[in-house]
Each structure stands twice: as C-alpha cells, then as structure tokens.
Amino acid sequence: MKTPDPPTAEPCPVARALDVVGDRWSLLILRDAFDGVRRFGEFQRSLGIARNILADRLRKLVEQQVLEVLPASDGSAYEEYGLTDKGAALFRVIVGLRQWGEDHLFAQGEAHSVLVEKKSGAPVGRMELRGRNGRALQAADTVVKK
Amino acid sequence: MKTPDPPTAEPCPVARALDVVGDRWSLLILRDAFDGVRRFGEFQRSLGIARNILADRLRKLVEQQVLEVLPASDGSAYEEYGLTDKGAALFRVIVGLRQWGEDHLFAQGEAHSVLVEKKSGAPVGRMELRGRNGRALQAADTVVKK
DNA sequence: CCGTATCCATTCCGATACTG
DNA sequence: CAGTATCGGAATGGATACGG
C-alpha cells in the first residue's frame, strides 16, 4: 500500500528531493533528457534499461511533474517525454554530479564528455555556491539552520 | 565477488558519479556528514536506517574514499567517519538537491531548514552555473560534447 | 557502543512474451 | 514503436540476535 504523499512529509529538502529523483535510473533518465532524448525507445537503448522499469520511472517522473508527455514533435503517432520547468531546474543537480565525477572519478588524461556553452563553444566553468561577498563557499563555511 | 573497479569504465561522468553515490541512503549519509554527523550510531538514529545497510553503505563510501575512518575525536574507543576532500567536494550535489527541493517540493509558506553562511548568518543564494559573461546558464544554453 | 550475522519480506531489475 | 504482463533471480531493507 502507498500513501497519497503530500509531497512526502519529510522536513528536509534534500530528503524530499531524493524521494522524487533519488535513484540511479531516474537520474540517468534526467541526464538523457537534458541531452535531448525524448522517446521511449531512445531512452531504452541509450540506458540499456529494462522496458518495464523504464515505463515505471517515466510514469513516476510524469506524476511528479518532472517530465511531461508531449503530443509528438515529428509527425509520428507516438508521444514524447519532455522536461517541465520543474524538471529543467534539476540541471544544477546533474551538473553537480557531472563535475564531481570529472574531478574525482577519472584518471589523469582519461577522456570524458564535456559540457560546453553553446554560444562560445567553450567548456563551462565550475559551478559554485557563492556567499555575500561573491566568493565561493565551501561546506565548512555554511551551516543548516532548522 | 566484486571486480576491482577501474572507477567503472562508464564514459559519462554523471553515470560514474552515480555508481558511487547514486542511491538514496548514500546521499542521505552524505547530507548528515555535511551536518556534522560522524558516529555510526548517530547516523543510525538520524536516518532510521537498518544497521546492516548502514554498515554496508559506510564501507562502500570508505572504499571509494568519499569517507574516511578517523581514530576518534573525543576520548572514546571508537572510530568516526569523516568526509575526505573527495567527499567534501560533493557539497554542490547536496546543495543542488536541497535548493531544488526547497524550490519545488514545499507548499507556499511551508517551513523547512535553511542553509546559511556561518559568518553572516544570512541564507545562501542560489547556486548557479555561470557562463563566460558571468550570467547564469540554463540547460538550454549548454550542450554535452563527446 | 559498534558492528556483524542471520532471517525474512519487499522491491528492483532484466528477459521474454504479448497487445495495440 | 510504445507500452503492459509476468516470471524468476538478485539486491535492498528492517528486525533481531549475537560478539568485540
């Protein structure tokens, strides 16, 4: 049995976020969505995910209004899955994972894909949380106030 | 049996990051670690996680050098789990989840904890990915280059 | 207090077969 | 092509009991 979920009652924003996107497949689906993937079969092939699991995750993400079902961009009879504004706002989470992975999970000189600015074609810089003075904040510079 | 893992062979930094921290409990453990939690029992009570699962996740995070086992800060005979530099760099991921949760998963006026700058006591601003011109980049402003 | 070991239920996931 | 249905194995997770 499943409760109706008034978001989730979790008081912590991190925990609540994880209730929605806190599993491996959902985040990989989001990554693909940011890369322009929109069709069921495209996700399936790109991820190598089982079809039933993919259908389940897509349904949940649509329920949570992270993705939305769109009529179809080309003439085909099928539907597509697009990011809502709420889903697009997860960009920073995906970028955070990407930059951490780049920094700490690749060997010296090992190749990986790069996020670049469309206009300039230049790689984007490090995403930072900035304080009042404009300087980057580290974890130790902050504290969670209840 | 477990292969030694040359990180994971995954070419995508996001996927590789998710191989290390891509499950709910690991990310909640990290959240707590950023909040200053260090002891086994503290994690256990804070999260309500089963002890065997917690032990498993802690072991994996230590293996991945996200956490490290420390001798003990107070006089007690036991060990503590602290963030390594690699682990501390996940700050942006946790902040990304937190800010997304705050923005999209709480009702109007619903209370939640807030991340504040220690020095000023002021809430931190929105974390942003910035382009060459210093302006915040949206997902649509970027593209992944293989 | 810290952790391991064991048991059991539930969930996750992949493979396959099936329907519009 | 897009999904649903089902099956079986693996992993997850909670509870409890046990030892350092």
Q: pLDDT for B19-35, tens place per residue? A: 999 999 999 999 999 99
Q: Residue B140 above 70 pLDDT?
A: yes
B80 SS3 class: strand
pLDDT interval class at B5 (50, 70, 90) = very low
Q: What is the mean predicted confidence (pLDDT) over A102-120?
A: 94
Contact call for residues A24 and B15 (beta carbons, < 8 A): no
Q: Residue A6 above 70 pLDDT?
A: no
Residues with CB under 7 A from strand D: A 39-42, 51-52, 55, 58-59, 76, 78-79; B 23-25, 48-53, 56
CA–CA separation, B46 vs B33, rounded Å? 11
Q: What is the mean predicted confidence (pLDDT) over B118-124?
A: 93
Report pLDDT for A110. Answer: 93
- pTM of the predicted protein model: 0.92
Report pLDDT for B75. Answer: 63
Q: Residue B143 above 90 pLDDT?
A: yes
Say how far residue A20 (Cα) sits from the centre of its chain.
11
Please state at what angle helix A40-47 crosses helix A51-63, rounded to 10 degrees: 120
B101–A86 C-beta distance less than 8 A: no
Helices (H), A38-90: 40-47, 51-63, 85-88
Alpha-carbon Rg for chain B, nearest whole angstrom, is 18
Q: Residue B7 above 90 pLDDT?
A: no
**What residues form DSSP beta bridges with A83?**
A67
Q: Residue B6 above 90 pLDDT?
A: no
User: Which B residues 12-71 touch A at CB under 8 Å?
Assistant: 12-18, 20, 22-24, 27-28, 31, 34-35
Report pLDDT for A71. Answer: 83
Report pLDDT for B73. Answer: 67
pLDDT interval class at A8 (50, 70, 90) = low
Read off the pLDDT of residues B36-80 as tens digits, 9 standing for 90 and up. Answer: 999 999 999 999 999 999 999 999 999 999 999 998 766 676 789
B97–A14 C-beta distance less than 8 A: yes
CA–CA separation, B53 vs B68, rounded Å? 18
Please tell me the least confidently modeled range out of A73-77, B47-51, B109-113. Answer: A73-77
Q: What's the CA A95/C1' C4 distance, rounded, in angstroms?
A: 38
Interface contact B124, partner A, CB < 8 A: yes
Report pLDDT for B72. Answer: 76
Report pLDDT for B2. Answer: 32
